[in-house]
Amino acid sequence: MIKKTTPQINKGVATPKSINTSFVRKRKKVLSVDTIVQGILAGNRLMLSKAITLIESTKPAHQTKAQAIINLCLPHSGNAFRLGITGSPGVGKSTFIETFGQFAIQENKQIAVLAVDPTSQISKGSILGDKTRMMHLSTHSKAFIRPSPAGNSLGGVARKTRETIILCEAAGFDLIIIETVGVGQSEIAVHSMVDFFLLLLLPGGGDELQGIKKGIVEMADLIAINKADGENATKAKQSKSAYRNALHLLPPQESQWIPKVTTCSGLANIGMEEIWKQLVLFKKLTKENNFFIKNRKSQAAYWLHETIQNQLKQLFYDNPTIKAALKITEEKILAEELSPFQGAEDLMKLFKS
């Protein structure tokens, strides 16, 4: 009898008992910050996943809890090597990560694969969304794969991923791969959260043909011409030497690292060792010349000020009075009745008052 009535109660029949029961049952499931943090530090994936879900939640209570967890994990983070991977859709990122990830596991690494893709919710072409594209990796005990958090604003998505890195590191993962598509602004965000930036390109055709945005080539620590197998091998070699020449024209990096160009194939498992070697060399160089730690610190400062400036803009542009006045100001400026500087000053006066 009781069993039969319980479902009814759950369907919303509001008796004092039903409220009480569901309340008690719900409470049992809610884990404390301490429990979650202890779980993460013990390498418990379920706890890690739960914490990431809190980070990704938009509920204020979840956010408060997430921030508490992050702050407790912070002292245990920072020990992983953070690898950013970018490239156009179709360059074979998933297959590359599947193969390279397994290579890294053989090298005794525990790897976490995250993604930054602010458009995935809109275009539905979410990267890492389809775990079946990384069949071996997604089921491997030493790998943890998490698709891009949802969100339309790059700032929000990047922030969630940046926070997830902290938790993954606290959970003991020592190679964090952050994947992004090289066609928007997201590479700049990813570049600002990784130690090493790998650009995957296709054989033949310049980066512009592959939809790679201005400046991405300059951010790369390593360019790998992927799909360098079978008939493509020759074309890949040509691309390699073309990019090698182009890189010569770029100014030297602050890291003193000289960016390399290599060929590889995720599908045919070619060139993984060479890429791994480059990561090792880069880490050695930048640890020795202190760029590694210096870069981490300037990245932290970058995110502090980037977040402040984003929130300042939000405060200004979301203000209803400003919104209305901005429209009129913009029209006047385009009609050349008002200089943009005077327009800005008028709006600032309005904002301050």
User: Which residues contact its own copies by CB under 8 A?
Assistant: 67, 70-71, 74-75, 77-78, 159, 162-163, 166, 206-208, 212-215, 217-218, 242-243, 245-246, 248-252, 297, 300-305, 307-309, 311-313, 315-316, 329-330, 333-334, 336-345, 347-348, 352
User: Taking the complex as a whole, how short is the minimal distance between the CB of residue 312 and its own copies, in angstroms?
Assistant: 5
Q: Which is nearer to its own copies, 289 or 339 (CB)?
A: 339
Q: Which is nearer to its own copies, 143 or 216 (CB)?
A: 216
User: Taking the complex as a whole, how short is the minimal distance between the CB of residue 334 and its own copies, in angstroms?
Assistant: 6
Question: What one-letter code names the amino acid at 155?
Answer: G
User: Taking the complex as a whole, how short is the minimal distance between the CB of residue 89 and its own copies, in angstroms?
Assistant: 17
User: Taking the complex as a whole, how short is the minimal distance between the CB of residue 270 and its own copies, in angstroms?
Assistant: 25
d(CA 188, CA 182): 9
Q: Which is nearer to its own copies, 94 or 329 (CB)?
A: 329
> Which residues, at least 6 apart from 204, have a Cβ–Cβ distance to it below 8 Å?
232, 235, 236, 238, 239
Q: Which is nearer to its own copies, 2 or 249 (CB)?
A: 249
Tell me the two tokens of residue 221. Answer: 């620590």
Taken in order 86, 92, 98, 99, the sign of the CA dihedral is: negative
Q: Which of 312, 307, 314, 317 is nearest to 347 (CA)?
A: 317
d(CA 75, CA 26): 31
> Which residues, at least 6 apart from 228, have a Cβ–Cβ distance to it below 8 Å?
203, 236, 237, 263, 264, 265, 270, 271
Q: Which is nearer to its own copies, 287 or 297 (CB)?
A: 297
CB of 192 closer than 8 Å to CB of 225 = no
Q: Which is nearer to its own copies, 45 or 294 (CB)?
A: 294
User: Taking the complex as a whole, how short is the minimal distance between the CB of residue 311 and its own copies, in angstroms?
Assistant: 5
Q: Which is nearer to its own copies, 42 or 308 (CB)?
A: 308
**β partners of residue 175:** 81, 111
User: Taking the complex as a whole, how short is the minimal distance between the CB of residue 191 and its own copies, in angstroms?
Assistant: 13
User: Taking the complex as a whole, how short is the minimal distance between the CB of residue 293 and its own copies, in angstroms?
Assistant: 10
Ramachandran region, residue 226 (left: φ > 0; alpha: ψ -120 to 50; beta: rest)? beta
